[in-house]
C-alpha cells in the first residue's frame, strides 16, 4: 500500500488495473490526468473508472514500462492534478453487443414467453432512453428509435426487434470508437513529456519532477538528457539535438547567453540553465493549450448542422405519421422511424474539423477551431504586413546613428536601447539585443519599462527618461521633434530600412536602422495563392511609396498601402471588408494586434509577439511563409469534406426513407443501411488522421524570450 492508497488489483502481460482512492474526487480534471498517464512511454491506452476509483492501463508488456507506470502512480498526489469539469473519457462498450449476439443465437430455441421477456430486457435501455429524452429534451431521434423498436417487439417480431437493436448498438459502438480514435490521436498531439530535472536548491543538486521547477531556478542538464524548461544558458557549452523541435538533423551549438527550449536533447556537453518559462508556461505547453482550446470552439457550420439534424427528426416523424395514416402498416412506420439523419450530421461535422486541426498541426500550423477553418476556406483576399512575412523576420541592425553627439556615443546608444528592448518580444527587439551581444556591450541598469502597445517604450535611465519607438510615438505623444534630421531619415528610408527612433524628454537622441530581405519562397507562395482562388493580394508597409510600388510590381501584388503607421492597419482591413472582400491578414505580430482582430481571419507568423499569437485565428508554428497555402488547402479540403458528407447524409438517408415508406425496406434493412452510412461518413470525415503522426515536438517553437544581458 502506498501513501496515496495505490493498490494493484489485476495484472496480465499487457494490462494493469489499479485502485487509486483519489480518483473519487469529482473536482479532478480527468482529461488532463488521462493525457498525463497516456504520455508514459509504452502506454497504449488508459481507462479511468471514477466511481470504482480504478485505472486500467494497456501497455507494451515491457518491464521498464510497467515500472514507469508504477512510479508515475506512486508519485501522484491530488495537489499535482489540476481541477476541472472534464469527466473520464467513456470507452465504447462491447459487452452489450456480445449480449445481443448471444440472445439472437439463442432466440430460435426459446419458448415464446421467454423470447418476449428477454427481448424487452434487451431493448429496455433503448426504450427507457427514449422516454427520458422525450421528457427532458422533447422529440429527438432517441424517441423515434425507441418507438420503432418497441413497435416491432410489441407486434411479436422478436427477431426483428433484436436484430434492429443490435444494428443500432453496433452503429453507436463504431461511432463512439471513431470519436475516441480522434480524441486519442489529438491527445497524442497534446501529450506532455513528463521527466525529471536536476535543480540547484540549498547549494546542492536535487532531482525533481520537471513540472516542479520554479522560475529563475538553475537547472543542470548533461549528455543524453532532455532540457526541461525554456531558459537561458548561464554556463557551459553543448551540442543540442533540436530535430524534435525544428526538424534540423544537425545538432546546434549552445553556449553562454543562448536561449534553449524545453524538449530538446543534449548530445554532447553540459549546460547550466536559468529557467525562464517552466511547466505550463513553456512554449510547447502553450501551443498544446492553444490546440486544446481550439477543439472546444464551434463554428457556424457545426451549429447549422445541429439545427438541420434536429429539424430532420420532425421530417422523419411527419413522414412516418403520414405513411401510417395512409397504410396502417406498423412495419413501414417502424422502418421510417429508424431513418436517423442526426448522427451523420451532428458527429460528422465536428470530427471533420478535428481531422483538419490534426492535419494542420502535422504540417506546423495551428488552426484555432472550426470557425477558423470555416473562415479561412472562404477568403478571397490576403493582406500581408510586409516586414516579417514577405520578408524575413530576422532583421539585422544596419546603422546606429547618434543625433545628440554631445551627450551620447554610438556604443552607449546601442547598449542602452538593447537593455530596454530585451523586455519586448518581437524581431526588432531581438535584432537590437543580438547586435549588442555581437559587439560585446555591457548591460545598462535601468528602471521599470513602460510599454505602450503599437507605439513604443519609455524607461528611466541615469536620470533621463528614454523614449524608444516610432516617430509618431515620440513626436505626437512626447513632443520630441526629428524635423532637423530629415535628410538622414530620408536616406535610410529610401534604402527600405526600418527605423527605430530614440529620444529623451524634448530631445532627439538617435536612430537605429534595421533591414530585412525578401524570402526566397515569397514569389512561389503568392503564385500558389493565385492558383487556389485568392483573387486579391495586398501589401501593407511603412516603406515609402516608391520602394513599396517597386516591390509590389516585382511580386505581382494587386494593391499597396504604403507609408502606413501601425494604427492605420486595422482601418485598411475594415475598408477592404466594406468592399465585400473576405480578408485574411498575415502579420509577424509587431503592432499587429488590432489588424489581426479586424480581419475575417488573422494569421500570425511564428516569431510574432505572444499577444499576436493569442489574438490570431491561425498561427504558423514554423517561420515559413509556404505554410500559408498549406493552411488554406487544409481548410478548403476540410470544408469540402463537410459539404460532401452533408450531401451524402441527406441523399442516402432520404433514399432509405423513401424505400422504407414504400415498404421496400424492412426495419432490419433500414437500420443496417442507416448505420452503415453513418459510420462510413464518420470514417471519411476522419480520413488522414492515420497518415501522419504529428507531435508538438516536431514544430518550430516561436521565440518569445530574449537574453537579459549580453
User: Are 19 and 92 a contacting pair, CB within 8 Å?
Assistant: no
Q: Distance (Å, rounded) from C-alpha 633 to C-alpha 496?
A: 33
SS3 for 18-75 is EECHHHHCCCECHHHHHHHHHCCCCEEEEEEECCCCEEEEEECCCHHHHHHHHHHHHC
Chain-centroid distance of CA 528 in Å reads: 25
Q: Distance (Å, rounded) from C-alpha 320 to C-alpha 105?
A: 31
User: Are 169 and 125 a contacting pair, CB within 8 Å?
Assistant: no
Most distant CA pair in the chain: distance in Å? Answer: 110
DSSP-assigned beta bridge partners for residue 48: 55
SS3 for 670-688 is HHHHHHHHHHHHHHHHCCC
Cα angle: 593, vertex 599, 605; to 5 degrees: 55
User: Are 583 and 575 a contacting pair, CB within 8 Å?
Assistant: no
In DSSP notation, 581-609 reads --EEEEE-STT-HHHHHHSSEEEE-TTS-
Question: Of 513, 519, 544, whose CA–CA distance to 620 is shortest?
Answer: 519
Q: 234-264 b/e with 16+ CB inside 10 Å = b?
A: eebebbbbbbbbbeeeebbebeeebbbbbbb
Cell of 138: 422533447
Q: Is 380 annotated as catalytic?
A: no
Cell of 533: 482562388
Active-site residue identified among 211, 385, 588, 617: 385
DSSP-assigned beta bridge partners for residue 540: 385, 561
Catalytic residues: 385
Amino acid at each position: 500500500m502506498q501513501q496515496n492508497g495505490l493498490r494493484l488489483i489485476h495484472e496480465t502481460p499487457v494490462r494493469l488495473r489499479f485502485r487509486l482512492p483519489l480518483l473519487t474526487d469529482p473536482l479532478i480534471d480527468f482529461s488532463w490526468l488521462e493525457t498525463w498517464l497516456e504520455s508514459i512511454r509504452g502506454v497504449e491506452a488508459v481507462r479511468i473508472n471514477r466511481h470504482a476509483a480504478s485505472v486500467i492501463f494497456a501497455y507494451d508488456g515491457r518491464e521498464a514500462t510497467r515500472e514507469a507506470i508504477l512510479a508515475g502512480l506512486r508519485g501522484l498526489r491530488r495537489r499535482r492534478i489540476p481541477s476541472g469539469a472534464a469527466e473520464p473519457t467513456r470507452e465504447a462498450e462491447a459487452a452489450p453487443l456480445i449480449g445481443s449476439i448471444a440472445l439472437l443465437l439463442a432466440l430460435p430455441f426459446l419458448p415464446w414467453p421467454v423470447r418476449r421477456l428477454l427481448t424487452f430486457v434487451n431493448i429496455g435501455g433503448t426504450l427507457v432512453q427514449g422516454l427520458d429524452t422525450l421528457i427532458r429534451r422533447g422529440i429527438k431521434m432517441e424517441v423515434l428509435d425507441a418507438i420503432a423498436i418497441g413497435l416491432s417487439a410489441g407486434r411479436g417480431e422478436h427477431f426483428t426487434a433484436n436484430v434492429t437493436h443490435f444494428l443500432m448498438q453496433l452503429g453507436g459502438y463504431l461511432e463512439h470508437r471513431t470519436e475516441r480514435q480522434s480524441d486519442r490521436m489529438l491527445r497524442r498531439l497534446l501529450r506532455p513529456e513528463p521527466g525529471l530535472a536536476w535543480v540547484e536548491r540549498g547549494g546542492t543538486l536535487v532531482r525533481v519532477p520537471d513540472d516542479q521547477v520554479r522560475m529563475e531556478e538553475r537547472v543542470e542538464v548533461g549528455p543524453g538528457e532532455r532540457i526541461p524548461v525554456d531558459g537561458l544558458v548561464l554556463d557551459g557549452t553543448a551540442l543540442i539535438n533540436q530535430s524534435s523541435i525544428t526538424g534540423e538533423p544537425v545538432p546546434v551549438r549552445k553556449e553562454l547567453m543562448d536561449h534553449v527550449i524545453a524538449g530538446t536533447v543534449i548530445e554532447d556537453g553540459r549546460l547550466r540553465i536559468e529557467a525562464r518559462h517552466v511547466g505550463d508556461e513553456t512554449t510547447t505547453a502553450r501551443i498544446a493549450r492553444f490546440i486544446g482550446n481550439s477543439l472546444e470552439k464551434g463554428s457556424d457550420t457545426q451549429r447549422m448542422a445541429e439545427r438541420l439534424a434536429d429539424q430532420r427528426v420532425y421530417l422523419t416523424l411527419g413522414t412516418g405519421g403520414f405513411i401510417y395514416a395512409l397504410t396502417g402498416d406498423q412495419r413501414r412506420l417502424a422502418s421510417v422511424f429508424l431513418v436517423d439523419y442526426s448522427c451523420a450530421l451532428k458527429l460528422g461535422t465536428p470530427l471533420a474539423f478535428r481531422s483538419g486541426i490534426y492535419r494542420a498541426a502535422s504540417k506546423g500550423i495551428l488552426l484555432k477551431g472550426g470557425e477558423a477553418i470555416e473562415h479561412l476556406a472562404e477568403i478571397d483576399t490576403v493582406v500581408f504586413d510586409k516586414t516579417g512575412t514577405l520578408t524575413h523576420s530576422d532583421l539585422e541592425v544596419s546603422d546606429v546613428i547618434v543625433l545628440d553627439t554631445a551627450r551620447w556615443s554610438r556604443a552607449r546608444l546601442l547598449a542602452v536601447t538593447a537593455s530596454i528592448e530585451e523586455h519586448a518580444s518581437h524581431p526588432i527587439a531581438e535584432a537590437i539585443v543580438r547586435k549588442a551581444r555581437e559587439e560585446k556591450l555591457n548591460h545598462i541598469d535601468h528602471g521599470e519599462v513602460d510599454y505602450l502597445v503599437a507605439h513604443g517604450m519609455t524607461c528611466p535611465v541615469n536620470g533621463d527618461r528614454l523614449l524608444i519607438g516610432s516617430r509618431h510615438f515620440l513626436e505626437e505623444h512626447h513632443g520630441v521633434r526629428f524635423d532637423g534630421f530629415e535628410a538622414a531619415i530620408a536616406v535610410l528610408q529610401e534604402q527600405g530600412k526600418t527605423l527605430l527612433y530614440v529620444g529623451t524628454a524634448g530631445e532627439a537622441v538617435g536612430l537605429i536602422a534595421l533591414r530585412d530581405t525578401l524570402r526566397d519562397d515569397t514569389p512561389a507562395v503568392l503564385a500558389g495563392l493565385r492558383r487556389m482562388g485568392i483573387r486579391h493580394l495586398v501589401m501593407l508597409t511603412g516603406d515609402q511609396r516608391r520602394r513599396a510600388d517597386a516591390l509590389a510590381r516585382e511580386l505581382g501584388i494587386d494593391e499597396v498601402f504604403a507609408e502606413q503607421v501601425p494604427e492605420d492597419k486595422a482601418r485598411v482591413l475594415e475598408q477592404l471588408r466594406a468592399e465585400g472582400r473576405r480578408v485574411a491578414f498575415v502579420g509577424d505580430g509587431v503592432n499587429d494586434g488590432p489588424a489581426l482582430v479586424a480581419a475575417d481571419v488573422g494569421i500570425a507568423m511564428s516569431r510574432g509577439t505572444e499577444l499576436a499569437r493569442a489574438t490570431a485565428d491561425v498561427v504558423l508554428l514554423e517561420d515559413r511563409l509556404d505554410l500559408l497555402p498549406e493552411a488554406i488547402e487544409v481548410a478548403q479540403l476540410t470544408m469540402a469534406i463537410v459539404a460532401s458528407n452533408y450531401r451524402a447524409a441527406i441523399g442516402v438517408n432520404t433514399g432509405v426513407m423513401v424505400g422504407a415508406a414504400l415498404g421496400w425496406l424492412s426495419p432490419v434493412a433500414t437500420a443496417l443501411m442507416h448505420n452503415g452510412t453513418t459510420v462510413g461518413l464518420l470514417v471519411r470525415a476522419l480520413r488522414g488522421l492515420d497518415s501522419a503522426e504529428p507531435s508538438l515536438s516536431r514544430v518550430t517553437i516561436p521565440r518569445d524570450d530574449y537574453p537579459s544581458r549580453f
